[in-house]
Amino acid sequence: MNRSLYTKLVLMILLVIISLMTVVGLFLIREIRNFYLEEFYQQMQTVFSSSELADGLRTAADGEDPARQMADILLAYSGQLGIDSGERNYYILSGETGACLAGSSAVTGPLEATPNILTALAGENGYAYDSSASYMDVALPVAGEGGENRFIVYIRDNKASVQALTSQLLRIILEALMVGLVIAVALGLILAKTLVSPIQSLTRAAERMAEGDFAGKPENPATDEIGILTRTFSDMAGQLEKSIDDMRRSEENRKEFVANVSHELRTPITSVRSYAETLVEAGEELDGATREEFLGVILRESDRMTKIVQDLLTLSRFDAGSFGFSFEQFSFAQSVEDVYNAVRMEAQKQGHDFCLALQEGIPEIRGDKARIEQVLLNMVTNAMKYTPSGGRISVTAGYEGERVWCTVRDNGIGIPDKDVEHVFERFYRVDKARSRESGGTGLGLSIAKEIVTRHNGEIRLRSQLGIGTEITVELPVGGPADA
């Protein structure tokens, strides 16, 4: 029995962990590949939709050295195109034969005639993609006036970043899996030992009771090992009913025994009933409710990684300097009001006193409207997460000189002094259990700080434990110098 129970518990825990990590790993790898594909083609379409670039390429097509002039124009746009000689390059091809005339890297032989190149040779824009291919490319036909001097602008990415990130992710998953397997083995052994030891002790006691030492009649209708032992106790108790003195001693021993066993077996029995009965004995016959519960756990855990990975990808792009901002002139006051209105109903559901105060005459600012609103939303939702129902949350905004500001105050649970200076660090959580229950990844404020920093702004937080928190973002009206 020992070997069977040990083996089954450990194997089932290992199977659950391996299955979960496999599902999550495949899902994350697919999402990363799709993310890079969408980002590449969206970036290409955004850059080549510029009329200034299109006019420059058509003019260069009629020049004395058209291929070189067109390559020089693309060189000027290499930052927007993400050109990297080791990973992503541009080429100028002949519109008649597809031969390479110029490019950002040397070509040792003829370029592969990809579907997009063939499309461009036919005079159409080539934006098709195949997620299973080892490259990403676009091919766009360019011609001078009158349709003469035909060329093809060709961008090709060898997916080195995708492959590197996928390899790194696989390594992380494998490392996590190895750690998980070690923990699973240790947990399974501890769980099995914790279960079997009391059962062995209970069996020895039952044997003594069968010999007339003391008696007890606990009831347990279960058909597992614990139920069998309980019924054994009842059988032995029947033999000891002949003696009143024995009954008294048996009752005293039974009370002490039940108290001890209840204390020692409460958690192991619960675990055995959930793991041993549901996973080991039922197997494929799991009822729908239990299966749905397990699937729900897997989905919730998957969603949370995915959210990380997504947040990690955002932070990675920040670190690499490849995160694209869309700067425009917009009303900061309107953005604050929009964020307030977006969460007002949820705040009312939680019974919060939720108010908004805007200073008159707040000037428009230059920045990435969507990203600034992302920061504002993070500030407000954090206040709602960590303020008990019926609390007070205020959103105020104004300006001073050439800078605008927005402050969110709450009377929530607050943050200990020792944690305040760390809240903008990646993966830092003040209350890890509460953060995970609310779906937090520990990256929200880190991303907010990156966005504000790229706008040459500041974000500050003050808090007192048990009193509340105040967080302020301050931004220059004119935006960053390079916007």
Give the domain CATH number at 331: 3.30.565.10
Kindly state whether residues 463 and 364 are assigned to the same domain: yes
| Beta carbons of 200 and 226 less than 8 angstroms apart | no
How many degrees, rounded to 5, is the angle at CA 180 between CA 178 and CA 181? 65
Kindly state whether residues 360 and 450 are assigned to the same domain: yes
- Give the containing element (helix H, strand E) for 409: strand 403-410
- Residue 223 pLDDT level (bands cut at 50, 70, 90): low
Kindly state whether residues 406 and 421 are assigned to the same domain: yes
DSSP for residue 277:
I
- Residue 411 pLDDT level (bands cut at 50, 70, 90): very high
Whether 319 shows a pLDDT value over 80: the answer reads no
- In angstroms, the CA 442 to CA 311 distance is 10
Q: What is the Cα 270 distance to its own chain's centre?
A: 31
The label of the residue with tokens 């048996």 reads: 250
Kindly state whether residues 139 and 168 are assigned to the same domain: no
Whether 144 shows a pLDDT value over 90: the answer reads no
pLDDT of residue 266: 40
Domain end among 95, 130, 158: 158
pLDDT of residue 268: 34
Domain end among 102, 136, 158: 158
- In angstroms, the CA 357 to CA 359 distance is 7
Collect contacts of 279-285 with beta carbons under 8 A, ≥24 apart.
279/12, 279/16, 280/8, 280/9, 280/12, 281/224
Task: Mention every residue, 6+ apart, whose C-beta is less than 8 A from residue 70.
Answer: 57, 60, 61, 92, 102, 142, 151, 153
Kindly state whether residues 251 and 205 are assigned to the same domain: yes
The segment with the largest mean pLDDT, out of 32-46, 230-244, 360-374, is: 360-374
Kindly state whether residues 6 and 54 are assigned to the same domain: no
pLDDT of residue 338: 93
Q: What is the Cα 240 distance to its own chain's centre?
A: 62
- DSSP-derived 3-state class of residue 312: helix
- Residue 164 pLDDT level (bands cut at 50, 70, 90): confident
Kindly state whether residues 437 and 416 are assigned to the same domain: yes
The answer as to whether 319 is a domain residue is no
| Closest by Cα among 17, 13, 9, 18 to 194 | 9
Task: Mention every residue, 6+ apart, whose C-beta is less than 8 A from residue 475.
Answer: 332, 365, 367, 372, 403, 404, 405, 452, 455, 456, 457
- Give the containing element (helix H, strand E) for 347: helix 332-349
**CATH number of the domain within which 81 lies:** 3.30.450.20
What percent of the chain is predicted at pLDDT more than 90? 22
Kindly state whether residues 168 and 289 are assigned to the same domain: yes
Convert the pLDDT of each residue in 95-140 to its tens digit: 888 888 888 887 766 778 888 888 988 889 998 888 778 888 899 9
pLDDT of residue 17: 76
Number of domains in the chain: 3
The answer as to whether 313 is a domain residue is no
The answer as to whether 482 is a domain residue is no
Residue 154, phi then psi, degrees to nearest 5: -125, 125
Size of the chain in residues: 483
Mean pLDDT within 216-236:
59
Mean pLDDT within 214-231:
58
- Residue 283 pLDDT level (bands cut at 50, 70, 90): low
pLDDT of residue 400: 94
The answer as to whether 34 is a domain residue is no
The segment with the largest mean pLDDT, out of 176-185, 208-217, 371-380, is: 371-380
The answer as to whether 134 is a domain residue is yes
471 versus 25: the higher-pLDDT residue is: 471
- In angstroms, the CA 43 to CA 418 distance is 43
What percent of the chain is predicted at pLDDT more than 70? 66
Kindly state whether residues 368 and 438 are assigned to the same domain: yes
- Residue 273 pLDDT level (bands cut at 50, 70, 90): very low
Mean pLDDT within 360-364:
94
Mean pLDDT within 66-90:
85
Q: Which of 13-27, 197-211, 314-328 has the lowest mean pLDDT?
A: 197-211
- In angstroms, the CA 156 to CA 72 distance is 17
pLDDT of residue 259: 36
272 versus 66: the higher-pLDDT residue is: 66
DSSP for residue 146:
G
Q: What is the full DSSP assignment across 157-201?
A: E--HHHHHHHHHHHHHHHHHHHHHHHHHHHHHHHHHHHHHHHHHH
Kindly state whether residues 229 and 376 are assigned to the same domain: no
Domain boundaries, position 81: 50-158
- 125: which 2 tokens? 């824009």
pLDDT of residue 363: 94
- Residue 170 pLDDT level (bands cut at 50, 70, 90): confident
Kindly state whether residues 337 and 454 are assigned to the same domain: yes
Whether 214 shows a pLDDT value over 60: the answer reads no
Q: What is the largest CA-CA distance in the chain?
A: 119
The answer as to whether 22 is a domain residue is yes
- In angstroms, the CA 398 to CA 245 distance is 86
Domain end among 281, 296, 311: 296
pLDDT of residue 162: 75
The CA distances from residue 264 to 1, 196, 202, 272, in Å, are 20, 11, 11, 13
What does pLDDT average to over the chain?
Answer: 76
Mean pLDDT within 49-73:
86
Whether 278 shows a pLDDT value over 80: the answer reads no
Task: Mention every residue, 6+ apart, whose C-beta is less than 8 A from residue 44.
Answer: 81, 127, 138, 155
**Exposed e or buried b per residue across 440-461, where buried means at least 16 C-beta atoms within 10 angstroms of its C-beta:** bbbbbbbbbbbbbebbbbebeb
- Residue 450 pLDDT level (bands cut at 50, 70, 90): confident
The answer as to whether 308 is a domain residue is no
- Residue 238 pLDDT level (bands cut at 50, 70, 90): low
Q: Residue 412 — left, alpha, or beta (φ > 0 → left; ψ -120 to 50 → alpha)? A: beta
pLDDT of residue 474: 95
Whether 279 shows a pLDDT value over 60: the answer reads no
pLDDT of residue 243: 64
Kindly state whether residues 187 and 287 are assigned to the same domain: yes
Q: What is the Cα 86 distance to its own chain's centre?
A: 29
The answer as to whether 320 is a domain residue is no
pLDDT of residue 260: 31
284 versus 432: the higher-pLDDT residue is: 284
